[in-house]
Chains A and B, each alone.
Chain A
Amino acid sequence: MTTVGSTLLERHRVRPAEYVYWIALASVFFLFPRNLSLATSIMVMSLFALSLDLILGFAGVVSFGHAAFFGIGSYCAAQLALHGWSEPISGALIAGLAAMVFALVVGPLVLRFTGLPQIMVTLAIGIILYEAANKASSITGGDDGLGGIKLMPLFGTFEWTAYGQTAFWYAFGWLLLLFIALRIVIASPFGVSLQGLRENTLRMRFIGTPVFGRLLRAYAMSGFVAGVAGAVSAQVNKFAGLDMLSTDRSIDVLVMLILGGVGKLYGALIGAPVYMLVHHQASEWNPFHWMFVVGGLLIFVVMFARGGVLGLLEAGLGRLPGGRAQ
C-alpha cells in the first residue's frame, strides 16, 4: 500500500531523464560553439520561467508583471558593475536580494487578490515600474539603457571571452544551482503546503496553514530567482535596458512556461528553449507575423494540450518528477 509520504517522496525522486536533460544542455557548448550567446540567453529565460513556475505552478499566484523582478535584477547588477562592484557572483546575489525586497514590498498588495484583480494588480505594478524606470533616466539610462558594464574575471581566473564561453558556463551554473534549490523547496513541507494552497486555499486555512506568510515567502523566493536571472542577463550581455521591465517580457515568460507545462519545473526548462528557438528561426520575420505564431500556440495549448509540451511528453513517456497528478 502506498502512503501519502512515500508518494510525495516518489514524486520528487531524481529520474534518469533528468540527467539526460542536463547533459544535453551542457553538450550544447561542444556541439554548437557558434551559438553560445543564444544558448546563454535561453538559459537566462529558463531561469526566469522557473521563478514564475514557483509562484504560478506551485502556489497558484498569477503574475502578469513578473518582468518587474527581472528588470530590477538587471538594473541593480548593471549599476553595481558600473560603480566598481565588478565581482559577478556577489553582484548577481545582491541583485537577486534587491528583487526579493521588492517582492516583499509589493507581495502584500498582490497576494490579497486572486483571479482578475490579481492579474490587473500585477500588470499595473509592472507598467508603473516600467514608466518610472523610463522617467528616472539618471538611474536607468532611460531609453538608452545602461551599457559598458565591465566585470572581473569569473572566480578571478576565467576572462569574459568574446564568444561567450565563460558566459555560457556562468548561466549554466546559476540555472543548475537555483533549479536544485527549487527542487528542494518544492519537495519540502513548505513546498507541499504551497501546492495545497494552489488546490484549495480555504481548506489549507482550515487545517491551520498560515496562508499569507507561506505565499509571501514563495513570492519572495520567486522574486529572488527572477532577480538573479535579470542580473545574469545584464552581466552576460553587458547591458540593461527598458525592455527587461516590459510587459512584453512578462507575457513572453508566461507563454514559455505555459508552452512547456505549468507546475513541473521542467516545463520552464523545456518551454523557454522551444519558444526561443522558434522565435530565433523567425527572427527575420515581420514581428506582427510572429504574433500569429504566439497567438496560435496559446490557443492550441489551452484548447488541446493543457499540460504543454511536457504534458504531451508525459502522456507518451510516463511521468516526470515534481508534477501534479493529472
Chain B
Amino acid sequence: MQEILSATSFIAIYGLSYGVVLFLISIGLVVTMGLMRVVNMAHGVFAAWGGYIMVNMMNAWGASYYVAMVGAILVIALVSVLVERIFFFKLYGAPELEQALLTIGLAFIGVASLNLAFGPDIVAARLPAELGASIDFAGRSVQAYRLFIIAFGAAVMLVLWYIFDRTSFGARLRAAVDNRGMAAAVGINVRRLFSIAFALGSGLAALGSAIGVAVLPLEPMYPLKYLVLILIVVAMSGAGNVKLAAGVSLGLGVVDTAGRYFHPEIGSFLIYIAMLVYLMARGGKLAAVHAR
C-alpha cells in the first residue's frame, strides 16, 4: 500500500511538473499555429535560447534565478518579433511543407548558433537554495523545485485562461483564430495581433525552458530534441485550443513518466503510440489546423 502511494505520488509530481514545462514550451506554438497557420519547427529555438540566456545571466552577472528568468523572457520576446517580421511574413498562406522546411532551416541555424555561442556540452543551472531543498510529500521526499514548477504552472495557466477568456485581447485573438478574414473585416488589426501573439508565445517558451532548466537539460540540440514533443502537443490539441493543450501536456507528462517508471524498456516511445492512437481516434479531423 505504502509502495503504491509512493509510486503514485512520484508519478504525479514528476509527471505533472514535466507536463507543465511541456505546456509552457508548447503553448506559444499552439496559439500561433491557430492564429497564423504556420508550422513553426523553430519554436524550440526560442525556448533553448531563453534557457541559455538565463543561465548566462546567472553565471556572468550573478543575477538571481528569478531575475534572470524575467530578463530571458523579455529578450526572447523582443527578438522573436524581429524573426517573425523577417522570415515569417513569406510563410503566411504557403503550403505546410514549405513552412516546415524553412522553419527547420531556422531550427538548424538556431542549434548551430547555440553551439557556437555556448559550446556543445550540457549546461547546468544552480537552483536557488529554497528550490533545491527536499520536502516530505506523501511519504516520499521530493525536491521543492518540482512542487514550485507545478504551482507556478497552475498560476500561468490561470493567467492565460483569464487573458484568453476574459480580456478584449483574448476575444480578438479568438476571433482571429476562428476566422481571420472576418476578424480583419470588423476592424481587428490581425497583423499586429500576430506579432503580439508571437512574442507572447516565444516568451512563454523561454519561461518554460528557464523554469524547466533541471527537467529538460540545456544543450545545443535542445530545439530539435524536444521538437517532436512540442509538435505532439500541438498536433493532439488542435491549433489554437489552449485548454486542450494544457490537458494534453499534463497527460503526456504523466503518461511518459509512468511509462518510464513501470516499463523503462518501452517507456521511451509510449507517448508516440499514445499520439498515434489519439490521432487515429479523431480520424484525422484536426479541424482547427485545416479550416482555412
Which of A187-195, A274-282, A292-300 contacts its partner? A292-300
Contact assessment for B112 and A288 in the assembled complex, using a CB-CB cutoff below 8 Å: yes
- The interface-forming segment of B94-102, B164-172, B183-191, B247-255 is B94-102
With A116-B286, A127-B228: A258-B101 Cβ-Cβ less than 8 Å: yes
Q: Could you tell me the distance between the alpha carbons of A291 and B283 in the complex, rounded to whole angstroms?
A: 36
Selected contact of A127 from candidates B96, B102, B269, CB within 8 Å: B269
Bound state CA distance, A64 and B101, in angstroms? 11
A306 an interface residue at 8 Å Cβ cutoff?
Answer: yes
Contact of B106 (CB < 8 Å), options: A114, A117, A299: A299
B226 at the interface (CB under 8 A from A): no
Contact residue among B87, B102, B108, B269 (Cβ-Cβ distance under 8 Å from A292): B108
A289 to chain B: which residues have CB within 8 Å?
112, 116
Which residues of A from 115 to 132 have beta carbons under 8 Å from B?
115-117, 119-121, 123-125, 127-128, 131-132
Pick the residue among A124, A128, A135, A298 that contacts B102 (CB under 8 A).
Answer: A298
Q: A123-B231, A127-B228, A303-B102 are in contact. Are A295 and B108 (CB under 8 A)?
A: yes
Select one of B87, B113, B268 contacting A131, CB under 8 A. Answer: B268
Question: In the complex, what residues of B have CB within 8 A of residue A116's CB?
Answer: 33, 39, 96, 231, 234-235, 286, 289
Q: Is the CB of B279 within 8 A of A120?
A: yes
- List residues of chain B with CB within 8 A of the CB of A232: none
Contact status of A119 and B39, CB under 8 A, knowing A128-B269, A295-B106, A296-B105: yes
Interface residues of B in 107-129 (CB under 8 A from A): 107-113, 115-116, 120
B65 at the interface (CB under 8 A from A): no
* A299-B42 Cα distance, complex, nearest whole Å: 12
Known: A120-B235, A124-B272. A299 touches B279 (CB 8 A): no
Contact indicator per residue, chain A 289-326, by CB within 8 Å of chain B (1) or not (0): 11110111111011100100000000000000000000
**In the assembled complex, A202 has its CB within 8 A of some CB on chain B:** no
- B265: chain A residues at CB < 8 Å are 135
Residue of A nearest to B110 (CB): A295
CB neighbors of B among A224-280 (8 A): 251, 254-255, 258
- A83 CB-CB contact with B under 8 Å: no
Q: Would you call B75 an interface residue if the criterion is a C-beta within 8 Å of the partner chain's C-beta atoms?
A: no
A113 in contact with B279 (CB, 8 Å): yes
Residue interface bits A88-125, CB-to-B below 8 A is 1, else 0:
00000000000000000000010011111101110111
A251 CA / B228 CA spacing, docked (Å): 13
A127-B228, A127-B269, A299-B102 as given contacts; A115 in contact with B96, CB under 8 Å: yes
Closest A residue by C-beta to B265: A135
The distance from the CB of A291 to the nearest CB of chain B, in whole angstroms, is: 4
User: Is B105 a contact of A294 with CB atoms below 8 Å?
Assistant: yes
A124 CB contact (under 8 Å) in B116, B220, B268, B275:
B275
Contacting residue for B275 out of A120, A132, A290, CB 8 A = A120
Q: Is B276 part of the binding interface, using a Cβ–Cβ cutoff of 8 Å?
A: yes
Q: Whole-angstrom distance from the CB of A34 to the nearest CB of chain B?
A: 31
Chain B residues with Cβ below 8 Å from A64 are 100
Residues of A within 8 A of B104 (CB): 251, 295, 298
Question: By DSSP majority rule, is chain A's interface helix, strand, loop, or mixed?
Answer: helix
Contact A254–B101 (Cβ < 8 Å)? yes
Inter-chain CA distance A127–B231, complex, in Å, is: 13
Task: Let me know if B232 and A62 touch, CB within 8 A.
Answer: no
CA distance A297 to B120 in the complex (A): 23
B109–A296 contact, CB under 8 A?
yes
Encode contact with A along B258-292: 1 for CB under 8 Å, 0 otherwise: 00000001101100110110011001101001100
Minimum Cβ distance to chain A for residue B48 (Å)? 13
- The answer to whether B235 touches A302, judged by C-beta atoms less than 8 angstroms apart, is no
Tell me the complex Cα distance, A131–B270, Å: 11
- Cβ of B90 within 8 Å of any chain A Cβ, yes or no, is yes
**Bound Cα distance A292, B286 (Å):** 34
Interface residues of A in 125-143 (CB under 8 A from B): 125, 127-128, 131-132, 135
Partner of A112, one of B105, B112, B284: B284
User: What A residues does B105 contact at CB under 8 A?
Assistant: 294-299, 302
| Interfacial chain B residues near A251, Cβ < 8 Å | 104
Nearest residue, chain B, Cβ from A301: B101
Contact A112 B283 (CB under 8 A): yes
CA distance in complex: A254, B113 (Å): 22
Provide the bound-state CA to CA distance between A302 and B97, in Å: 10
B120 to chain A, nearest CB (A): 7
Given A116-B286, A116-B289, A117-B289, check contact A306 B108 (CB 8 Å). Answer: no
* Contact in complex: A117, B102 (CB < 8 Å): no
Q: Chain B nearest CB: distance from A311 CB in Å?
A: 13
Contacts A109-B276, A289-B112, A302-B101 hold; do A115 and B120 have CB atoms under 8 A apart?
Answer: no
Q: A288-B120, A303-B90 are in contact. List 8 more A-B contacts (CB 8 A).
A: A62-B100, A116-B96, A119-B96, A288-B116, A292-B109, A298-B105, A299-B105, A302-B102
Query: Can you give 16 A-B contacts (C-beta < 8 A)?
Result: A62-B97, A114-B290, A115-B96, A116-B234, A117-B235, A119-B100, A123-B231, A125-B276, A128-B272, A131-B269, A288-B111, A288-B220, A289-B112, A296-B105, A298-B101, A306-B98
Residues of A within 8 A of B (CB): 56, 62, 64, 109, 112-117, 119-121, 123-125, 127-128, 131-132, 135, 251, 254-255, 258, 286, 288-292, 294-299, 301-303, 306
